[in-house]
Structure 1
């Protein structure tokens, strides 16, 4: 076999990438997490609405025919 230990190395790299980004160890219950996420979403929407309101075109960025 010509690949040698390339498969094993690739599996190790994939395992490292898998564990890197999705750690849910924030100490919150699912309900608390939902509340936190909902609050963040509301703040994001309010910020976007404020930006659209101050842009001068009424928030309508689509091209008119």
Structure 2
């Protein structure tokens, strides 16, 4: 909650193909908020690494 209050609703998110991210309820939630959902490719694990690196930067900044 505090992240959305502080920075607003994201325009897009990148996730892997985990069940929780491809569930219809999650897709509906994102659609209601107008968030574009980008899935990483199974054959391209580097993309997951980029997403993880971005998450670390975000978490580090939030702790300040």
- TM-score w.r.t. length of structure 2: 0.33
Considering only CA atoms, is the larger Rg found in Structure 1 or Structure 2? 1
Higher relative contact order (CA 8 A, sep 6+): 2
Considering fraction of residues, name the structure with more strand: 2
